Structure formats: structure tokens, C-alpha cells
Chain A
Amino acid sequence: MAIVKAERTPDRRPPVSEATVLGWLRKNLFSSVSNTLLTFVMLYIIYLTVGGAFKWGVLDATFIADNRRECYDNSLTGACWAGVIHWLNNIFYGRYPRTEIWRINLGGVLLALWMAPLWISRVKGKFLVGVSVVVFYPFLAGYLFSGGEKGLFMQIMVASALVAFAVNMANMLAGLFSRQGLGTFALRVLGQDKATGKTQRNVLLVLIAIAFGAAFFWQMSWTIQSVVWTKWGGLFLTLVISGIGIALSLPGGILLALGRRSKLPIVRVLSTGFIEIFRSVPLITVLFMATTMFPLFMPEGFVLNKLVQVIIAVVLFNACYMAETVRAGLQAIPKEQFEGAHTIGLGYWGTMGLIIMPQALKHMIPNIVGSFIGLLKDTTLVSIIGLFDLLGMLRSISKDVPWMGLHKEPLIFGAILFFIMCSSMSKYSRHLEVKLSAGRKR
């Protein structure tokens, strides 16, 4: 018997249990008597908890009231959201002057616009966009949020940031409408697209210089009112601390990880020591050190504002965790990749920046985003050392006379805010994973 099957077998449909809703239900929820029983018990528990929460939080809740007394008069068994609503501005912006809140909103809108090109596939030069956000946005936002007189340095940075923002937006439009980078587009408009590379570069430099001059003179004509950092608070402060923390801890972590794997013994020992010391201390200790001990080591009269100290502490602390995450990613890259990079003549930084890091970071996205989420949640610790971040603001509601003792509702509201922020980060990380791994699938 030589030939087992002469013709190809056609595909058949799978059995019912695999393909239908009914099949799925039977297989997963009602496969046996005990399983069926368990399903009903669980359904009952879900009904009790979700139903109860819904009744308390929505059906019996009070949304409009002037104080806690009125809430109770309205309903004894429901939530008193009126307190949260009354405090909403403080929860979001802290004690930032009401008339200046537009600055915070503008800062948020600018950031969103600045980052928008990163998600539009037609736009060119995404790497530069990313770099410009990290390098220039902080100065613009910093001035927007704190205001006051601009020193020369600040004037230059604000003007540069404005130029960077304008170039970025123009580049986005050029990408959207002509699928070209701004440089190519501008050269075409000016009729210089056939010129030599050197002429083209000079033309672009002149354009940027003109833009910078214009931005510089324009920004000289206005100043905005100064707002002391102690007035910053609420969700805004949480986002400032965690935003800077996220933006700086990743590059810091990368440098520390490279340092720890360096062939140079001094760099290696210093990096390792730094990482191990910060990792073996709780964040709250680092925060206390930064705000109470650190000024003692500084020369007399040297006052660094507390917010800056806190941010530095958060960045250093998280950079050390990030370093270990990145190092784990680096270790997963096989030696062959280094050799491949060496054979095409790449040096250390080329190998790391173009070959190794992109792969290592890609592997580590879930862990990196996990660290970011941890960082965001950890920033609530700053309320212990007297900053009124989101948590601090929520807790101070219960000390406000009209809302005395109102703990539950603000904290639940805070939990919902954190849930939204954290789960959208992890959602986005999963999206990134799928997008970036597209090329590896066969």
C-alpha cells in the first residue's frame, strides 16, 4: 500500500461547541452541575455588588447641594457628589488663580497638538518631533504655568519653543497635504528644490533664523502674571510631576543601564551603585531626603523650590527602576546582533542607538509602561510631604467646613480618574506592542 490518500481532503466546518455562542456558553459556564451552580452564585454576587454600587452612586445620589447637610436631607443612603462637583476646579487645578486657568488648558492643548504628528503616518520626521517635544515643550509650558518676568535665557527658550512648535505644525500640514517633509515642501514653494544640498540647507537655516527673530520680538511684547508653585495643585500638579518623571526617567534609565553594562569600570561601578542605592530605599524616604535633608547640604542661602526637589527625586528614583527594566531588555538581545552591527562598521553609539536599543525597548514596552503607571500612582506620595496633588486635594475636601467628613466620594472620584489614566496608558501600550510587532510575524 503505497499511496495513502490520492486526493486532498476538503476543509470541514468545526463542531458546534467551537464556533457558536451557545457552544461557548455550554463549554465555559455550564459544563457540569457544579460549574452551573458556581455560575449562578457568581451572577448573584455580581448583581449584589454592581447593583448596590449603582443604587448608591447614581439612583440615590445627590448631585446638587451647597453642603453636606443638604445631601443628607436629600438622601441618607446615596452618595454626595455635590461636594466633589463643588470642588471640581480645585481637584483639577489646585489653588491656581481662577482667572489664569486658561494657561494650564492652553499648555495641555499645545502638548496634544505638538504630539499629534507622532500618530499621523503621513507626517515625516517623527524622530525630530519627539525630540522637540522633550527639549522645547518643557520651557514653553514651564513659562506658561509659572509666568512672571522672563530672563534672557527664558526669552530665548520660549522663542525657540514657539519656532519649534510652528515648524512642527507646518510640517504636519505639509505632511497631511503633500506627504512631504516641511523642508522639501518649503524648498519646492521657494523654487529651490533643484538647488545643491548646501544652498538648500542655507535657505532653510535662513528661514528658521527669520522665524526665530520674529518669535523673539513677539514674545518680548507680553508677560503673564506670575503664579507661585505653591498654588499649583490637583490633577494638574500630578500630571506635571508624573509627566516630567516619565519624560526624563526613560532617557535617564537608558543611560544608567548602558553605564551598568559599560566596559569602563568606573562608569560601571558608579551606575551600579547609584541604581542599587536608589532601588533599596522607599520613594517616600527619597522624597523626605530631597525636601528636608538636601537643603542642609547646600550652601547658605541656596534655596531650591520644593517642587523642583520633588521632581528631581521622582526622576532619579524612577530612572533607577527604568534602568533595570532597560537592562533586562538589553540582555535579551543576542550577541549576534552586536556582531551584525560591528560588521557594517557601526561604533558603540551607532550600535546601541540604531540596532540594540530599538529592539530592547520594544521587548520591554509592557514593563516600561508598567513603570510609568507605577510612577503616576506613586506621585500621590507627594501629598505626604505637603504638596496638594490630586490626592492631597481630594483629602482636603473633608476638611472644608461645608463638606466636613466627606471622604468616600472624593476618593472614589480620584480612583476613577486614576483608573482612566492608568488603563488608557496600558491600553495604549498594548496597541503599541501590536503595531510594533507587526513586522516580526510571518
Chain B
Amino acid sequence: MMSETQDLGHVASAISNEVMIEINQMNKWFGQFHVLKDINLTVRKGERIVICGPSGSGKSTLIRCINALEEHQEGDIIVDGIRLGKNLKNLDHIRTEVGMVFQTFNLFPHLTILENLTLGPIWVRKKSKAEAVETAMKYLERVKIPEQADKYPGQLSGGQQQRVAIARSLCMNPKIMLFDEPTSALDPEMIKEVLDVMVDLASTGMTMIVVTHEMGFAKTIADEVIFMDAGEIVEKNAPNAFFEHPEHERTKLFLSQIL
């Protein structure tokens, strides 16, 4: 489905030379099943990468490996200069630096929106409550739902919940934001409000990796589009080239199916 966001044209990016994420020859198995094969990827600060591919191609698993929700078995993942491994201290540190937004929002249903947003800053970043609330309200303004602060997640629409989820991640002041199919569980009329927030975020120079099938959105923000199939990175290109002249057969097939 093409989203209206494509009309915005490409959002200018400010990529620096500093490497935020480096993945070398990474392999991962689920039991016997080889999900990720020889993944190599470098993401620089401010760079925005869109990953697409058929379901089961390992794209979600890849970004879940980046904030250590999944363990990889071979190769290296270095995030913000820290090598992911068994070291628990490192993992906690990485997770505070890497924000993640899920397909299913994963808000905490027993807490109000404001409490959802201030929980991390207060308990993990050890900020004062007043400061945390101030930051939270700032980001709620940014995702355009400050008036929902005292409601519970269950009282919000899917699109609003997802925007809260984005704000919740931003409250931790992350260096990298990961999006795992953020609009796949949403009704069509709500997709745009979430994508708009993400485009806005992109314009602030955030390093982003987005797994999505919203090709219009990909054209708007991506510096690079990656196509994955069967656990491998099959094709990688700038968005225009990727969509206009896909090179690999599998990419062509995939694009013909979704466009």
C-alpha cells in the first residue's frame, strides 16, 4: 500500500561518519533453523535504514538482535562501541541507548500514559519525577496527544497507542531507534498519523532502523533500503534506485507483489 507520506519528498538526512551499529558476519539459529545468515551491516550516526522483505525473512529478528532481545550465536554486533554478548551490564546499557517500537505497541496497561512515559526515566535514568514529567509532556506534545496523558492505554486507539510507544522510547533519550513493523497492526486510517510522527522524528537526525512495508514512507525517509529474504540481505540500495531498478530477481518479485 502506498502511503500519502511519499508526497513529502525525501527528508534531508545528516549522516556523520561516526559508526553507531556495526554487524560483522553475524549468524543466528532458532534451534536447528538458521534464521540469519552472514549478516553484515554498518549504520552511521543519523542514518536511516528501511528493511523490507517477505514474512519469515528474518528482518524482525535482525533488529531484535541489535538491542539484544534475541541472542546471536556467531559474529559480532557492536552498538555504540559496545560489543553485545553475555555481559548483563552491557545489555542493560544497550537497551537504554536503543529505543524500540513494536508492532503490538507493548504499552503497560496498568499504568497511565504519563506513567508509561516516566517509568524508565525515573527508575532507570534516576531522574526526578518533575523532570521526567516535563520530558514526557514534551514528547507527548511532539506526538500530538498531550491531552491523553492521564488515560490508560486501553482507552486509546491503536494509532494513539503506537505514538505513545514512540514517545515512551524517546523519553529515554536513545541514540538509536528501532521500529519493528510499527504500522502493521493498525487500521489504514491510523497508519498515517504514526508515519507522520516517524517522519518528524527522522527530520531531527535520529539514527533509525525501520522494518516496514510502507514503501511510500521508505522513499520519504530512507537513506538506504535493505531487502531481506530467507535470512540473508539480498539487496541494498538508495531508495530511488531500489524501487526503480531492483536488481535481484527476488527483490523484483517482492516489489511486484506489494506495490
Contacts and interface: CB of A to CB of B under 8 A. Distances in A.
B103 to A, nearest CB: 9
Contacts of B152: 439-440
Interface in A304-355: 336-337, 339-347, 350, 354-355
Contacts of A439: 109-110, 112, 152, 154-155
Nearest to B89: A347
Nearest to B108: A355
Interface in A404-442: 436, 439-442
Interface string A186-207: 0000000000010000000000
Given A336-B104, A337-B106, A343-B169, A354 B95 contact: no
A345 B106 contact: no
A347 B168 contact: no
A359 B152 CA distance: 13
Contacts of B112: 439
B92 interface: yes
Interface residues of B, number: 28
A303 B228 CA distance: 71
Given A339-B106, A439-B110, A440-B109, A344 B169 contact: yes
B123 interface: yes
Given A339-B102, A355-B108, A346 B69 contact: no
B99 A343 contact: yes
B233 to A, nearest CB: 24
Contacts of B100: 339, 343
A322 B189 CA distance: 46
Contacts of B125: 345
A350 B95 CA distance: 14
A345 B89 CA distance: 11
B123 A350 contact: yes
A362 interface: yes
Contacts of B69: 339, 342-343
A402 interface: no
B67 interface: yes
B120 interface: yes
B172 interface: yes
B104 A344 contact: no
B20 interface: no
Contacts of A342: 67, 69, 95
Nearest to A362: B110
A358 interface: yes
Interface string B85-108: 000000010011011101010111
A337 B100 CA distance: 13
A336 B106 contact: yes
Nearest to A353: B123
Contact of B124 (A337, A345, A440, A442): A345
Contacts of B168: 344
B110 A359 contact: yes
A340 B102 contact: yes
A439 B67 CA distance: 31
B36 interface: no
Nearest to B165: A340
B124 A344 contact: yes
B154 A344 contact: no
B119 interface: yes
A345 B110 contact: no
Interface string B149-161: 0001011000000
Given A439-B154, A441-B154, A345 B120 contact: yes
B91 to A, nearest CB: 8
Interface in B107-161: 107-110, 112, 119-120, 123-125, 128, 152, 154-155
Contacts of B169: 343-344
A358 B169 CA distance: 21
Nearest to B100: A343
A339 B155 CA distance: 22
B126 to A, nearest CB: 11
A343 B124 contact: no
Nearest to A439: B152
A183 to B, nearest CB: 13
Contacts of B119: 344, 346, 354
Contacts of A345: 92, 95-96, 120, 124-125, 172
Contacts of B108: 337, 340-341, 355, 359
Contacts of A337: 106, 108
A346 B92 CA distance: 7
Contacts of B107: 340
A347 B168 CA distance: 17
B154 A442 contact: yes
Nearest to B101: A343
A441 B124 CA distance: 29
Interface of B: 67, 69, 92, 95-96, 98-100, 102, 104, 106-110, 112, 119-120, 123-125, 128, 152, 154-155, 168-169, 172
29 contacts: A197-B128, A336-B106, A337-B108, A339-B100, A339-B106, A340-B102, A340-B107, A342-B67, A342-B95, A343-B67, A343-B95, A343-B100, A343-B106, A344-B95, A344-B169, A345-B124, A346-B123, A346-B124, A347-B92, A354-B119, A355-B108, A358-B110, A436-B110, A439-B109, A439-B112, A439-B152, A440-B109, A441-B154, A441-B155
The 6 closest A-B pairs by CB, nearest first: A340-B106, A344-B120, A345-B96, A439-B152, A345-B124, A343-B100
